[in-house]
Amino acid sequence: MTSTDPGTKACGLQIRALGVAFGERTVLDDFDLDVAPGEIVVVMGPSGSGKSTLLRSIAGFTEIRTGQIDIDGIDLRGVPTHQRKLGYVFQDLALFPHLDVGENIAYGLHRRHEPSSVRTARVAELLALIAMSGAERRSVTTLSGGEQQRVALARALAPRPRLLLLDEPLAALDIQRKTELADELRRIITTTGVTAVHVTHDPDEATRIGDRTVYLQPR
Amino acid sequence: MKFLRSAATTTTTTTTTIVATLALLGACSSSAPDTTARITAETTAAVAVAPAGTKRSPIVLLAYDSFVLTKGVLEGFTKTTGIPVKLVTQGDAGELVNAAVLTKGDAESGVLWGVDSTFLTRAAKEDLFVPYESSNAADLDPTLRALAPKNEVTPVDRGDVCVNFDKAALAKAGVDAPKTLDDLVDPKYRGMLVVQSPATSSPGLAFLLATIAAYGEDPATGWTSYWKKLAANDVKIVSGWTEAYETWFSAGGGKGDRPLVVSYGTSPAAAVLFGPDPKASTSPTGVVESTCYRQVEFAGILRGQPDALDESKELIDFLSGPVVQNDIQLNMFVYPANTKVAPAKEFASFAVSPDKAAELRPAAVDAGREGWIDAWTEQFG
Amino acid sequence: MDRTIRLTAHRRLGRRPPRATSALAALGAAFVGLFALYPFARLVWRGLSDGRGAIADLVRSERIRRIVWFTLWQSAVSTAVVIGLGVAIAACLAGRSFPGKRAALALAAVPFTLPTVVVGTAFLATLPSEWRQGRVAVISAHIFFNIGITTRTLTLAIERLDAGPWEAARTLGASPFVAWRTVTLPAIRGAVVGLAGLVATLCLTSFGVVLLLGGPRYATVDVEIYRQALQLSRIDRAAALASMQFVAIGGLLWWAGRRQPAVGATRTRPRVVRPTLITLCALTVLLGMVFIPLTALVRRSLRQPDSSLGFVNFTNLTTVRRGTGLTDPPLRSLLVSLQSTAIATALAVVIALTLVIGATRAPRPTVRRWCERMASLPLAVSAVSLGLGVLIAFSGRPLPWRRSPLLLPALQAVVCLPFVVRTLLPAFAQIPVRLSDAAATLGASPWRAWATVDFAIAARALALATGLGATVALGEFGAASLLARPQAPTVPVAIARLAGRPGAVVQGQAAALAVVLAAAATALILVTEQFRGADR
């Protein structure tokens, strides 16, 4: 927690009047959110309040009906997902089952055409950060729930995203592991200094991880 | 597999293909209602019922797919003798015999119709048949009987595989019909002949045997050198009789561009009977007599059903007797083996069966067939 | 998800009476042994006891080398094209929903259920005369035969994938194409390899198509086996060739089976995308490949003997033509086929269930693996070898069943068994153990739990497997052609007999009967598809 990752440039996120609807059903309406560079914002709300939809809109998986999403003042509309330079930790983690731990973490580096030496170094660095040094060749299917969790985080962080999105990544864990990992998560995120939006419905998790919490009402 | 027998391998027998010919020609002649009626007629009923009060064992008559008798003929046999006959057809002659070999001793078998001269030795080696001298033996053509001297089988019909020609197409091309096998390699007839592969077709094999009988096996002057000349003269090789006659022959259903085809000695008669004018006095096609190769077919009693031996013997007598011998002629377009039965008048007018057609001894065919086909396929297949 | 399934299988052991499970599996295996392995063994034994040095003959023969080479070559080319096109088209169709998609995919699979004779007839009606026989004809027929089922299977496989990894790849900077290449493709590799093995096997043992379309020059090993045995009387060479083929195909299937991941992986969230122009193009290509030959076949069936258009060929199906080897109207064969198919399908499903129970519930992993292999085994015994073996094995003592009306359905059951098992296995393997546990706590005995839980849940897959098995049995040609009782041919055999005779009337009947069969197969597939519903 002493120094932030020098490679990461923290960016700000501005959401203005965001509206998302699936057919007739409005999920988000006139939603505003500002996240300062390096800030960790937790979005809370019950099921169906549009938490996941918010993240999917930022990532570009869901089409937005109205409003605008900017990162550092640049409009994201029309930018395809793979060019948005985001990190996303999915609720079900979505690790690549055919790749080992190291390859999972290096995946985003490959896509940015980083040379092999850089990839190796960065993977080792992140494994150290998540306290799993030396786990490069392990199969992701043999990891425990908590380990999978941390690998998913490392994979999202490896290519130094402008913004980290976390979609209830701790939901599947038991209470004790959850508490431990929530603290760990905050440590790792603040170490890298990345701006983060974390979605959860657990108030305890919200206070442990976030700098600030916003609430979404179900519609 | 049935497909092979019929479409690709075609028919080891004269009969199959001749019947096919008539179906083909008949169908092309929409102006011949009686012809159509004829081929629409019901095929022979399979099962006959024995009259009440008689106690005879039922027997099976095993034949190739194209075996046809006029309706009522087999039933007549059952009526007179009280023996129920079940007709079972299976494949072409080659498949029929080889399947019989594989299933030797199968309890249900009775009489097999359709082992031909090229498979005779094979059948004898396997001891497939119970020897029996037909009660009609004295009437049967002695040259045919000589092929099976121990009476293990009884000759029932004969036919010839010969080169056929399309009279009109040759006239249009301004050439006479060929007279000999040698003529076929004359540049005059370049690109005119279509033949079947001996590897997949029985008329094709018969034609190969005809060339072997004519030229021998000497590497320099024998059949291979003849075939090289044929190939140089642009002979067309196809897989089966149907394709050769229907697709490529200029007088066949497909109106192809080849006026010469390997077919049967009776094909011209079929071409008339099932052509546009069944009463025509000349046939649109002719036969090159010196190219004919003799095929003889036999019937025999299959081993394995001792309790129906007498019934089977009676069926052999019936098959070689006048009723069946007469009936097969226009049904299967073959000549009777029984000399007391006069050849059909249509045969006399249009068909050809030379007194001295080429023929190899069954044992020689059995010994050489495989090697010849292999050698042929290596070079020309 | 993988883990859950494996655990499931292990944890069940204590609960199921192991002996009963093994006994059931043994019953299924015995059936396969009796109707596939035993005839094949008899064929090989008959060949060996001939003792004419067949193997040396075969090795020396230039012709055999050429046949083996052509067999491998056409199979490799056909498989490569089918898999390549299938993967590409599936990639364009998967996840994109549009009206009629399910029906289109189902219809595309129709050629697979058609007997090879019909496929051959369709191609004779499609190709220009210079291509009607030869390599191009054989390969295009094989593509036509396999492309629909391949595309459909791959599309469903992709749609079964969880969207998560794909989306993760996208956020990590992968373009849609790169994400597809690095995430989707590896995920379906097992399915691709399995399909490639299946398609290659079907092409390697192709008989009817090659016979009809290969022309005088091109033959496959199966055609040669037939020729050696039934034309040249060299049963020894036929047996040697059949053994070679058995070993090669058995090896291929073993390899393809090992490369397939353990079944499982229920998807959590499918990826749905809007259809684009590319989707439309892919669909057009797929349906074009399938429907051009089918349309040609239909057109052929409507061309009457006098060259006008109409339904005379169909009305002719109720009349008998002499010289066709058929003693009853051709349409009667439909009745024979339906009876035989019904018995065969019922047998196949019962046997498949015993093997599936063995493959998922047997106590020992070895037994489970062998159950799976037994189910695939009939694919390695080609139709021709099976037919020849059956002629030998079931004539005379000790099993004089050759003329039994039940022999054909039994063989057809063996032939469609691999397809039925392939449909059932994933469904049964996916049922979580908790459900039976729950049933047990509510007082259900193990067998009752199986019947009321597993069986009930897999009922949909069972219906699907029944339909698939029925279509395969309906179109079965190889075994039927050697065994159909001559007076009572099945539809494919009747088509072959008619198609093998020249003459416009008979050829018209053949085309009409082929259309009837194709229509029956299509109807069966569409009905079966209804059961896929909630599965998707």
* Rg of chain A taking only CA atoms, in angstroms: 17
pLDDT band, very low/low/confident/very high, at C223 (cuts 50, 70, 90): confident
- What would the mean pLDDT of C397-409 be, rounded to a whole number? 79
**Whether the predicted pLDDT of C506 surpasses 80:** no
Q: Note whether C173 contacts A108, CB cutoff 8 Å.
A: yes
Give the nearest chain A residue to C163 (CA atoms): A94
Of the given ranges (B14-28, C117-131, C269-283, C482-496), which has the lowest mean pLDDT? B14-28
Cα gap C505→C325, rounded to integer Å? 15
Question: B329: closest CA among B281, B280, B273?
Answer: B273
Q: Note whether C168 contacts A111, CB cutoff 8 Å.
A: no
Of the given ranges (B88-92, C211-215, C288-292, C459-463), which has the lowest mean pLDDT? B88-92
Residues of chain C found within 8 Å of residue A86, distances taken between Cβ atoms: 171
How close does chain A come to C93, measured CA to CA in Å?
19
The single-letter DSSP state of residue A162 is: S
Structure tokens at C137: 């004809």
**Whether the predicted pLDDT of C269 surpasses 70:** no
pLDDT at C372: 82
Q: Note whether C173 contacts A87, CB cutoff 8 Å.
A: no
- What would the mean pLDDT of C504-525 be, rounded to a whole number? 85
Q: Note whether A90 contacts C174, CB cutoff 8 Å.
A: no
**Whether the predicted pLDDT of C69 surpasses 90:** yes
pLDDT at B207: 95
Q: In what order do the strands lie in the sheet with A40-44?
A: A86-89, A163-167, A196-200, A40-44, A212-215
pLDDT at B14: 33
**Whether the predicted pLDDT of C88 surpasses 90:** yes
Interface membership of A159 toward C (CB under 8 Å): yes
- ipTM at complex level: 0.87
**Whether the predicted pLDDT of C461 surpasses 80:** yes
**Mean per-residue pLDDT over chain C, rounded:** 81
pLDDT at B135: 94
Give the nearest chain C residue to B15 (CA atoms): C323
Structure tokens at C361: 């519930």
pLDDT at B8: 33
Interface membership of C177 toward A (CB under 8 Å): no
**Whether the predicted pLDDT of C291 surpasses 80:** yes
Cα gap B244→B235, rounded to integer Å? 12
pLDDT band, very low/low/confident/very high, at C448 (cuts 50, 70, 90): confident
**Whether the predicted pLDDT of C513 surpasses 60:** yes
Of A83, A85, A141, the CB nearest to C2: A141
CB C224 within 8 A of CB C71: no
Cα gap C67→C238, rounded to integer Å? 13
pLDDT band, very low/low/confident/very high, at C7 (cuts 50, 70, 90): very low
Q: In what order do the strands lie in the sheet with A13-22?
A: A25-35, A13-22, A66-71, A74-75
- What would the mean pLDDT of C292-310 be, rounded to a whole number? 84
Q: Flag whether A touches B (3+ CB pairs, 8 A cutoff).
A: no
Please write the tens of the pLDDT for every residue from C413-433: 999 999 899 888 877 877 766
Q: Note whether B105 contacts C482, CB cutoff 8 Å.
A: no
Q: Note whether A93 contacts C167, CB cutoff 8 Å.
A: no
Please write the tens of the pLDDT for every residue from C311-370: 888 888 887 765 555 667 888 889 989 999 999 999 999 999 999 888 887 777 778 888
Q: Note whether A82 contacts C171, CB cutoff 8 Å.
A: yes
Question: C137: closest CA among C74, C76, C83, C191?
Answer: C74
Q: Which of A55, A71, A81, A139 to mutate to test the interface with C (most CBs of C within 10 A)?
A: A81
Q: How many CB pairs under 8 A join B and C?
A: 189
- What would the mean pLDDT of C117-145 be, rounded to a whole number? 81
Sequence-distant (≥ 6) Cβ neighbours of residue C355 within 8 angstroms: C25, C28, C29, C32, C371, C372, C374, C375, C417, C421
Q: Note whether B26 contacts C231, CB cutoff 8 Å.
A: no
Give, for all 381 residues of chain B, the pLDDT tens digit: 333 333 333 333 333 333 333 333 333 333 333 333 333 333 333 334 444 455 788 888 988 877 888 888 999 999 999 998 988 777 777 778 888 888 776 656 689 998 888 888 888 888 889 999 999 999 999 999 999 888 999 999 999 999 999 999 999 999 999 999 999 999 999 999 999 988 777 889 999 999 999 999 888 889 999 999 999 999 998 877 877 887 788 887 667 889 999 999 998 888 887 766 778 888 899 999 999 999 999 999 988 766 788 899 999 999 999 999 999 998 888 999 999 999 888 888 888 888 888 888 888 888 888 889 888 887 887
Of the given ranges (B336-345, C186-195, C446-455), which has the lowest mean pLDDT? C446-455
Which pTM does this prediction carry?
A: 0.79
Q: Note whether A96 contacts C171, CB cutoff 8 Å.
A: no
Of the given ranges (A27-31, C140-144, C198-202, C398-402), which has the lowest mean pLDDT? C398-402
Cα gap B86→A108, rounded to integer Å? 77
pLDDT at B304: 73
Can the peptide bond before residue A169 be classed as cis, meaning omega within 30 degrees of 0? Answer: no
Q: Where are the alpha helices (DSSP H) in C260-382?
A: 277-302, 312-315, 332-361, 365-376
- What would the mean pLDDT of C381-393 be, rounded to a whole number? 87
How close does chain C come to B138, measured CA to CA in Å?
31
For A196, the 3-state DSSP assignment is strand
Interface membership of C162 toward A (CB under 8 Å): yes
pLDDT at C2: 38
Q: Note whether C323 contacts B23, CB cutoff 8 Å.
A: yes
Structure tokens at C357: 């129970």
Residues in C 271-310 with any Cβ partner in B closer than 8 A: 305-306
- What would the mean pLDDT of C100-126 be, rounded to a whole number? 80
DSSP string, B187-226: GGGTT-EEEE-TTT-HHHHHHHHHHHHHH-S-TTTSHHHH
Q: Which residues of chain A carry a pLDDT beneath 70?
A: 1-8, 219
